[in-house]
């Protein structure tokens, strides 16, 4: 059985949101990773304006978690209301695949399931109700 978290995407204000929400919700811990901390890729160098933007942040609460990122320079800016997705993590790859392919029925794949540097199996899909899901296999 996996875990489900709200995932907020903000246009350059993720750190600000993380600081506020961590204080308001009495966070147990906060982790922030920036695009500048990504492993170097000569084919896709990180532009200077992206180095301090949040690639991923997590606020651990007493019960549950909140996740955040900023939009990457050059990608479309998010619209308030369309900037929250549901992140679902599991240690069971079969479960991730089952849910992903179930959600894609009548929906649209945003990012096919694939290996990333943070997950052996990660993908994004918008379901038939317009809800964006991020599915990730936990290490």
pTM for this prediction? 0.73
**How high is the pLDDT of residue 118?**
92
Could you give the C-alpha distances from 117 to 1, 10, 137, in angstroms and in order?
23, 22, 12
Going from the N-terminus, what domains does the chain have, and what CATH number goes with each? Answer: 1-73 (3.10.180.10), 91-139 (3.30.720.110)
Region 39-43: what's the mean pLDDT? Answer: 88
Region 1-13: what's the mean pLDDT? Answer: 88
Assess whether pLDDT exceeds 80 at residue 30: yes
Assess whether pLDDT exceeds 90 at residue 28: yes
**How high is the pLDDT of residue 31?**
96
Assess whether pLDDT exceeds 80 at residue 83: yes
Residue of 109, 119, 59 whose CA lies nearest to 89: 119
Percent of the chain with pLDDT over 90: 66
Residue of 65, 70, 58, 2 whose CA lies nearest to 30: 58
Taking the CB of residue 122, how many other CB atoms lie within 10 A of it?
20
Could you give the C-alpha distances from 59 to 53, 103, 116, 131, in angstroms and in order?
17, 26, 22, 22
Question: CA 36 to CA 45: how far, in whole Å?
Answer: 10
pLDDT bin (cut points 50, 70, 90) of residue 26 is confident
Q: Are residues 35 and 72 in contact, defined by beta-carbon separation less than 8 angstroms?
A: yes
| pLDDT, tens digit (0-9, with 9 covering 90-100), for 114-133 | 999 999 999 999 988 788 99
């Amino acid at each position: 059985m996996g875990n489900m978290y709200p995932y907020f995407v903000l246009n350059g204000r993720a750190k600000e949101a993380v600081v506020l929400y961590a204080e308001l919700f009495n966070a147990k811990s906060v982790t922030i990773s920036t695009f500048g901390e990504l492993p170097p890729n000569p084919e896709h160098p990180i532009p200077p304006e992206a180095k301090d933007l949040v690639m991923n942040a997590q606020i651990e609460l007493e019960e549950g978690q909140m996740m955040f990122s900023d939009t990457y320079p050059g990608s479309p800016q998010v619209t308030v209301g369309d900037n929250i997705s549901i992140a679902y993590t599991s240690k069971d790859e079969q479960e991730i695949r089952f849910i992903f392919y179930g959600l894609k029925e009548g929906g649209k794949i945003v990012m096919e399931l694939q290996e990333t540097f943070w997950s052996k199996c990660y993908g994004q899909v918008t379901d038939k109700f317009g809800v964006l899901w991020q599915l990730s296999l936990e290490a």
